[in-house]
Chains A and B, each alone.
Chain A
Amino acid sequence: MSYEMIALLMFSTMMLMLMTGQRVFGAIGFVGVAAAMLLWGTGGSDIGFSAAMKLMKWYPLLTLPMFIFMGYVLSESKIADDLYRMFHVWMGPVRGGLAIGTIGLMVLISAMNGLSVAGMAIGATIALPELLRRGYDKIMVTGVIQAGSSLGILVPPSVVLVLYAMIARQPVGQLWLAGVMPGLMMAGLFIVYIVVRCWLQPHLGPALPVEERQVPLAEKLRLLRAGILPLAIFAAMMVPFVNGWTSLVESSAIGAMTAFLAAVFKRRMTREVFETSVRQTLAISCMFMWIILAALGFGAVFDGLGAVRAIDSLFTQQLGLDPWVILILMQLSFILMGTFLDDTAMLVIVAPLYVPLVQALGFDLIWYGVLYTITTQIAYMTPPFGYNLFLMRAMAPPEITLRDIYRSIIPFAFVMVLALALVMAFPQIALWLPNLVYSK
């Protein structure tokens, strides 16, 4: 059997197992070790365990449980509630202002954790009911929260970029800095979209009524203090890291501790909150770790087959395509796969395939990391499979149907594709900040 055939067989077996509801790590792991045993006999039997050892020695992976813990502490203890009130009062008088404020809220939450879960939970439980009560269009609101919370994986700290860094063997610090400007740019584009849309159709996002606007200035200024918390947590993590006092992993532990202490001092760390956040951290960390473990074994077999070189030569030599055309095709196929594949699985399967190809084509891997993350963001939101879609369905009030959720993401997905195109056309958007910091 030719190597291409084996590769194809591995993929189709995996797809079949995923479709029949096998746990994702079980499907990837089984195909990996079974292929290794078939190809190399008992010599291939230690591929699974050596993947576990490889995972252990990969230092930045320690940030994963830290950021998951931080995210759960923030969302469960609801210490970010004041933040919403701050945006509510300050942005409310503008047309569509509460939606713009929600995007701002999401950016701040994104700067405190590395997944979209926390932003989603805070958005769906606090912002969503408030905005609906003020007569905002439900499709608009749902879209804003989903798009906004997806910034969590682009704005540092980002768990997706940690995973990417592991596969692409690139420094996490530079990747994170590269995500800052594109993340802010994307938030800016969302805001532009909201402003234009609400200017054309004022009923989508009415300004707050006059009686609600009359908040005394002292109260307004007092609410600004809510913004101190995210800045403090962000600074506690990033200042020692950027100055080189601590490593990335140590900074993530400082961040987790700061968030935990903030919850304790605000008297929000009840027994129940503690139990849920610690248990959910274990559950989600285990899910990620076992998938990564399985995917490392799978990837090792795939590398052994030389499948990447075969694909590379197919595109560049046999089809004679321009590197840029290949890159665009890759992103398009990535988005397509993202619509029907499980996101976490896709993350760890697609990257080992695409990253070596991108490198062979001569592109910058830090820059590609940002493209990769934006594409993952789009995949997170596109039906029928989407991490954010599922979370939204679980958290949103019953009057929001699945149809509403699906419809709501369409305009925001286009805005994200626009952001992707901009970062592709102007790599400096991503690379300016890491170059500035690391060329000192």
Chain B
Amino acid sequence: MPEFVLRYIRVVEAINRRVGRFAMYLIFVLVGILLWSSISKTFLLPSLWTLEMAQFAMVAYYILGGPYSIQLDANVRMDLVYGSWSPRTKAWVDAFSVLFLIYFLGVLLYGGIASTTYSLEYGERSPTAWRPYLWPIKIVMCFGIVLMILQATAEFFKDICRIRGVSF
């Protein structure tokens, strides 16, 4: 295997691991926002921003955490047939099937970029009382999808390594 492929796998995995470990703690941000929301609603004036801020945090949580969840192998597969194959057969099939995943993520990114440019050009705001701009969260989403594509390509190279018996 060429050295740059192995380095690519290592670099992508390291970046996604860091980003994922960061996203992991957003759960506490989420809890904090929602607790503040209940406190302010019960004792003070209800905050306008909590609902949407919580939604933005949740989206960042799962989109940025996505590649790390692939590393943790948390995404379920049906293993009725797949489970009984040898590791080599699995690697062969995965090397093909991951291309479909990359296609899905690519279309997702294509739509995401179109939507983000629209938001930036027209200064799109959410139609609520707080009226936040939508472009920051859309950029975060696109960034997360790019990381997801990087992780998927790394998975592809890892499968090739497995087929050729190279350790990575």
Contact = CB atoms under 8 A, between A and B. Distances in A.
Nearest to B54: A62
Interface stretch (A26-34, A184-192, A309-317, A412-420): A26-34
Nearest to A63: B34
B107 A25 contact: no
Interface in B65-82: 65-66, 68-70, 72, 74-82
Contacts of B56: 56
Contact of A33 (B65, B74, B82, B107): B107
B81 to A, nearest CB: 5
Contacts of A283: 68-69, 72, 74
A240 B42 CA distance: 10
A289 B111 CA distance: 18
B108 A253 contact: no
Contacts of A290: 62, 66, 69, 75
A69 B27 contact: yes
Given A250-B38, A342-B76, A46 B30 contact: no
Contact of A20 (B41, B97, B137): B97
A23 B101 contact: yes
A321 interface: no
Given A61-B58, A283-B72, A342-B78, A17 B115 contact: no
**Interface band, chain B:** 35 or more
Interface string A55-87: 111010110011001000000000000000000
Interface stretch (A111-119, A274-282, A374-382): A274-282
Interface in A266-320: 278-279, 281-287, 289-290, 294
Given A33-B104, A257-B31, A287 B76 contact: yes
A17 B97 contact: yes
A57 B101 CA distance: 25
A256 interface: yes
Given A49-B108, A282-B68, A253 B38 contact: yes
Contact of A249 (B34, B70, B137): B34
A128 B62 CA distance: 34
Contacts of A25: 75
A289 B27 CA distance: 14
Interface string B79-91: 1111001000010
B154 interface: no
Nearest to B141: A52
Given A56-B59, A246-B41, A289-B62, A22 B97 contact: yes
Contacts of A69: 27, 31
A21 B38 contact: no
Contact of A257 (B35, B77, B94): B35
A198 B17 CA distance: 52
A240 B58 CA distance: 23
A202 interface: no
B104 A278 contact: no
A385 interface: yes
A67 to B, nearest CB: 12
**Interface band, chain A:** 35 or more
Interface in A26-56: 26-27, 29-30, 32-34, 37, 45-50, 52-53, 55-56
A340 interface: yes
Contacts of B110: 45-46, 49
Interface in A324-382: 340-342, 344-345
A66 B75 contact: no
A254 interface: yes
B5 interface: no
A24 B110 CA distance: 21
A19 interface: yes
A21 B55 contact: no
A19 B78 CA distance: 6
A287 B69 contact: yes
Contact of B23 (A66, A252, A282): A282
B44 interface: no
Interface in B92-148: 93-94, 97-98, 100-101, 103-104, 107-108, 110-112, 114-115, 137, 141
B75 A287 contact: yes
A342 B78 CA distance: 6
B58 A278 contact: no
Interface in A1-29: 17-27, 29
Q: 3 closest Cβ contacts across the A-B interface?
A: A21-B82, A49-B111, A253-B34
Interface of B: 20, 23-25, 27, 30-31, 34-35, 37-38, 41-42, 51, 54-56, 58-59, 61-63, 65-66, 68-70, 72, 74-82, 85, 90, 93-94, 97-98, 100-101, 103-104, 107-108, 110-112, 114-115, 137, 141
29 contacts: A17-B100, A19-B81, A21-B85, A21-B90, A21-B97, A23-B75, A23-B77, A23-B101, A27-B100, A30-B104, A45-B107, A45-B110, A46-B115, A47-B111, A52-B59, A55-B59, A65-B62, A240-B42, A246-B38, A249-B34, A253-B30, A253-B35, A256-B31, A278-B27, A283-B72, A286-B68, A286-B75, A287-B74, A342-B78
Given A20-B82, A287-B69, A341-B78, 16 more contacts: A21-B79, A21-B90, A21-B93, A23-B70, A26-B100, A34-B104, A45-B110, A48-B111, A59-B51, A278-B25, A282-B20, A283-B74, A286-B66, A289-B62, A290-B62, A384-B80
